[in-house]
Copies of this chain bind each other. A is one copy, B any other.
Amino acid sequence: MNDTVRNDGPPIASPADSFPITPRNRVRRKPDRGRFDKATVYDIMDGAMVAHIAYVIDGQPYCTPTGFWREGDRLYWHGSTASRMIRAQAKGLPVCVTATHLDAIVLARSGFHHSVNYRSVMAYGTTRLVDDPAEKAAALDGFVDRFFPGRSREIRKATEQEAKATTFIAMEMVEASGKIRATHVADDEADYALPVWAARIPVAQILGDADPCPRQLPGIPVPPSMQIYRPGRRLDEVLQEAARMGYAAE
């Protein structure tokens, strides 16, 4: 069981810096892996560039990988104004937005205890069309600057036509739950005596060398917005660093 928050049963008072625990978001399986404090939930979300969004159209669930970002308890994503997902979500749909990091493969001495280390957040809310002009203008820069701090000032500005073709969706995280496994092999006590190779193999999303556009003008240096994207770095750590730089909120 989680030490800091109760993890069983409906609407429970929670500290202000935590998400409420409800029948929807409580972590039923392996509740010791549950995390409801906002610092942890934010950190897991901020480490991801792509989330998976579950939504329902005509009774059919869809699970669509989507670039997204967070400002406070609010998530944003965007898409073509013509997209089926975006058109449906613009009307207001219940969704579940999930960000997941695979951190290690855990090889135990029995199949039952094979596992992976991971960090994930499932966030619940209802979608909303971003139709306020100021919020939309901020989002047009925000979805660039959140990932590449300051880059919106280094590139061509969005045209009116581009803005029209782009729809932004917002979702307040009314509930969210993080789940983390970050331990080592956890075998049944008797099994440690078995002559079986058991190990944890780390996995991370790693950045490679930037491959410049073949039509790049000569002599253009790597701009300030991209300094944190050094080859060999972990993408989740770069994205968390970008989020802390806070450009999206400006």
Contact = CB atoms under 8 A, between A and B. Distances in A.
Interface of A: 24, 28-29, 49-50, 52-56, 59-65, 67, 79-80, 82-84, 94-98, 100, 102, 105, 107-112, 114, 116, 118, 120, 122, 124, 140-141, 143-144, 147-148, 151-152, 154-159, 162, 165-166, 184-185, 187, 191-217, 220-223, 226, 229, 235
A140 B111 contact: yes
Nearest to A234: B206
Given A54-B55, A105-B229, 8 more contacts: A56-B56, A112-B165, A114-B143, A192-B213, A195-B220, A198-B216, A199-B212, A200-B213
Q: Across chains A and B, which 10 residue pairs bring their CB atoms closest together, nearest first?
A: A202-B208, A54-B63, A54-B54, A52-B52, A198-B213, A54-B61, A185-B213, A63-B98, A65-B100, A112-B162
A85 B43 CA distance: 25
Contact of A29 (B83, B196, B212): B83
Contacts of A194: 155-156, 217
A216 to B, nearest CB: 6
A112 B193 CA distance: 58
A62 B122 contact: yes
A71 B156 CA distance: 47
Given A116-B50, A208-B204, A96 B63 contact: yes
A58 to B, nearest CB: 9
A212 B202 CA distance: 11
Copies in the complex: 2
The interface centre, meaning the residue of A53, A79, A151, A198 with most chain B CB atoms within 10 A of its CB, is: A198
A60 B157 CA distance: 39
Given A162-B110, A210-B199, A63 B63 contact: yes
A205 B204 contact: yes
Contact of A158 (B97, B112, B157, B199): B112
A167 to B, nearest CB: 12
Contact of A197 (B141, B154, B159, B185): B154
B62 A203 contact: no
Contacts of A212: 197-199
A184 B213 CA distance: 7
